[in-house]
Amino acid sequence: MSTEVYHFKVGAFECMAVSDGTLTYTPPTFPPPTTLLFSNAPRGDLEHTLRQHNIQPEHWAEWISPYICLLVNTGEHRVLVDTGADGLDPNTGKLLQNLQAEGIAPEDIDMVILTHCHPDHIGGNTLDNGKPAFPNARFAMWKDEWDFWTSKQAEEKLDEHVREVLLSVARKNLPPIQERLDLIEREREILPGIHALAAPGHTPGHMALVISSGGEQLLCISDTALHPIHLEQPEWCAAVDFAPDQVVATRRRILNRAAAEKALVLAFHFPFPGLGHIVQKGEAWQWQPIATMV
């Protein structure tokens, strides 16, 4: 199986999970993975859970995370969900070349939906010259997200150790799209078959998407969960989650929906291609990745 592009269908929609590359989260730039991903987890419970997942906590020095964008061809529109992390690391910023390898030029994209404004989701909005990377596209994001990152709120409320990195990427990649931006204030259809779903907590205006065609459904959860363990332990939050209580409430609502509706799910940071199903497991849930050809 390619680790760069994965083709699948949702009803009549032609879809691709497209890698933007990977980032290795390791000290001293980032906290250790146990702290980064599960900052509020009781240590004993965390160690037990990690060992169940064949992770030795004392040796877990780095977390290598995929960055997985989504392309949806509805027949009427070519829609890109998130633009990756161009410039964040030498191993990121592969979105454009992976699209072009599939015969898709930046000019072919007519809608870009941004689930939230962290650097790994908006870093590919613009080129090095500051111009939009997708010159024919309109953009869409939740209004609360735009307001947070383009006002004094982010400067005042972000933790000091991450503030400058996050703000520098937002300042580069948000102003150039303002004139072509649609702000979403309620759960609604963005384009036929593509619905916005409020998913706040990871960031103030974090958004999930429901993509529907021909009786089939894809639920794009973005960063509602960063690791499959978050499904089994929905109250364990990451150090980068802005509002942990909101994260937990959002997770429970969205994971319940995914399990009840047996939807195909795409998670941005899960092992490539990030696709699977969420099934109920007691009071929580479990990740079942799709079977892929190796």
Identify whether the C-beta of residue 221 lies closer than 8 Å to the C-beta of residue 265: yes
Taking the C-alpha atoms of residue 195 and residue 210, their distance in angstroms, rounded to an integer, is: 5
Taking the C-alpha atoms of residue 113 and residue 92, their distance in angstroms, rounded to an integer, is: 19
Q: Find, among 132, 146, 4, 2, the residue nearest to 71 by Cα.
A: 4
Helix (H, G, I), strand (E, B) or coil at 98: helix
Over its C-alpha atoms, the chain yields an Rg (Å, rounded) of: 18
Identify the residue whose tokens are 């599960």: 38
Helix (H, G, I), strand (E, B) or coil at 233: coil
Q: What is the pLDDT along the chain (294 residues), one digit of tens a residue?
A: 578 999 999 999 999 999 999 999 999 999 999 999 999 999 999 999 999 999 999 999 999 999 999 999 999 999 999 999 998 899 999 999 999 999 999 999 999 999 999 999 999 999 999 999 999 999 999 999 999 999 999 999 998 878 989 999 999 999 999 999 999 999 999 999 999 999 999 999 999 999 999 999 999 999 999 999 999 999 999 999 999 999 999 999 999 999 999 999 999 999 999 999 999 999 999 999 998 754
pLDDT at 275: 98
pLDDT at 118: 98
- Domains in the chain, please, with CATH? 5-289 (3.60.15.10)
User: CA distances (Å), 14 to each of 76, 79, 270, in order?
Assistant: 11, 11, 21
Taking the C-alpha atoms of residue 160 and residue 291, their distance in angstroms, rounded to an integer, is: 42
Identify whether the C-beta of residue 137 lies closer than 8 Å to the C-beta of residue 125: no
Indicate if the alpha-carbon torsion angle 255, 260, 263, 264 is positive or negative: positive
Helix (H, G, I), strand (E, B) or coil at 276: strand
pLDDT at 162: 85
Taking the C-alpha atoms of residue 220 and residue 223, their distance in angstroms, rounded to an integer, is: 9
pLDDT at 294: 42
Taking the C-alpha atoms of residue 190 and residue 283, their distance in angstroms, rounded to an integer, is: 33
pTM (2 d.p.): 0.97
